[in-house]
Structure 1
Amino acid sequence: MRGLHRFTTGLTAAIGTLIAISTATAHAQNYPSKPIKIVVSQNPGGTTDATARAFADLLSQKLGVSVIVENKPGAGGMIAAENVAHSTPDGYTLFVGLHSQLAQAPVLFKKPLIDPDKDLVPIAAVTAGGLPTAVRSSLPVKNAKELVELSKKQPLNAGNYSIGSGWQLLLSQLAKETGGQFTVVSYKGTPPMFTDLVGQQTDVATGSVISIGPFAQKDGLRVIAIISDRRSTKFPDVPTWAEQGFTSPAFTKLLEYNMLLAPSGTPKEVIEVLTKASTGGQQSPKMAQLLDTIGSDEPVLVGEPLTKMIREVWPVYRQLTSELKLTPG
């Protein structure tokens, strides 16, 4: 009887598993059958928000359902990431955020709200483009080397768009290598940061092409360097940091992407649908406009190119964050 009980129990569990798999498969085959929500980790106005809305436009066009965007900034992107990671893994709640924040979470926070490596599944990524470094117009510097020389004589206030950002890592490494002095002033996003820069309230800042766009035509700032492995097509006359003699990984490998992810446990069939819908992004008006605005000829990353980017870039963020002992404050 005891053996029969074990057999019955095992059979019941197996049947339950088969039913669950069958139900999940059926849902995946009918996906999507209702609106999708994208939770974005940043405030409106910057590249991350623009990317989320471009993905919403793209998925809506390809999948034929409404896609809404909800902004949940805070805690280095972890509030939005946790919200999605703990949602039902059915493909109807997705996350868009800075990939650098996901890369850094395990080493930046003592108790991160989620484990980005296990709790979220990468679907696609869009580059933020080369990040322009700008100084206030009244600062007597015209390039990166002059910025460093001035910072050795007097501490400079550096606006920062996110705790532990690639820009903050670069500043820390710059100070370590040169003896420059930079006081990091963190803002809630790029608009208030660039507002203060144009208003001559801070000395230097870095942000995306999109976020600096409304301020770039004003007289209050001067672009002196690009954080990228290549020049920006939007600022073709401005050299990269590497071209100006700063060649360590902090100046060449801290590329920024905005990434689309789903909760871990989302059916493989659903991930495949979302991945397929994310390709050919240039066919979507908003995605095409986004890539043109940031001056990118790089397509939406999916599949192996996305995996390769994560494999090469995330360790650099984690290593520098650990070495420089950055904390979220």
Structure 2
Amino acid sequence: MASANRTPSSPSVFLLQGIPGLEAYHKWFAVPVCTIYVVIIAGNCTILLAIATEAALQRPMCYFLCMLAAIDLAASTSALPKVLCIFWFQDGEIQASACLAQMFFIHALCMMESAVLLAMALDRYVAICFPLRYGSIFTGSLVARMGVAAAARGTLLMGPCPFLIRRLSFCRTNVIHHTYCEHMAVVKLACGDTSVNRAYGLSVALLVIGGDLLFIGFSYCLIVRAVLQLSSHEARRKAFGTCGSHICVILISYSPALFSFFTHRFGHHVAPHIHIILANIYLLFPPMLNPIVYGVRTKEIRERVIRVFLPGRVTTKAGPG
């Protein structure tokens, strides 16, 4: 480790430290992280399987849910295997190119997820405010184009970051005080002028988080106005019920992201391990909870999962009817 603090201007290897100050507890952290990763894989694969094999689920909102599940699987797999290597085996060494690739995929996939959540909000807006035109507006081709746009936006916005980091000089240390190659954690190691990197990172974060939340909020303002104009209490309850799962997922996804963003930028007196734990919560909890929320709240998904994993129970229920 002594040599880790004397690096050339462009190090070929970085060392991920994990959670600074809590190294003695790394093996204990590995247990819940591994458990959550298994739940992420099982839950999101189950959602994908249920939607792929159930004709009643072949509709736009479920296609967006498939995108969300695929993004969650990819983002988790980009970071968590290496996190577990750090916690279990103290193996924090990562090639510089692999570090930049990990950084790109984690941040780009998070931007794609935000775009999908925005598309889901637009889906709910059209379904509630223009129900008779929903089928003609939200076609399969439109959903596909929105998915491509989400992927393109994440790729284009995150694409310059690895190249901006390549131009920096790292003359102090190559030890990254984090569990994965987070953009600002790497930028902070540089000994030259990092104002361009910081400004670009802040601008992209504000554009993605701020812009998407603004449009999501505007969509729900229109939804609430339209629902409150319904004369039937049952109709209002049903309309709000169709948005419940999406609202839960928005809160699950954006809350840790906002906490992590603001503590990283403005919480200078917050302990470093708090920053890192918040950043890990952002990667762990939304991918784990999203399939649970939709699996519990969406009747067709819940019934399809029961038919796949508990066929005898479904048969028993169906028989007397």
TM band (smaller chain): under 0.3
Q: TM-score, normalised by structure 1?
A: 0.27
Structure with greater helix percent: 2
Q: TM-score, normalised by structure 2?
A: 0.28
Structure with greater strand percent: 1
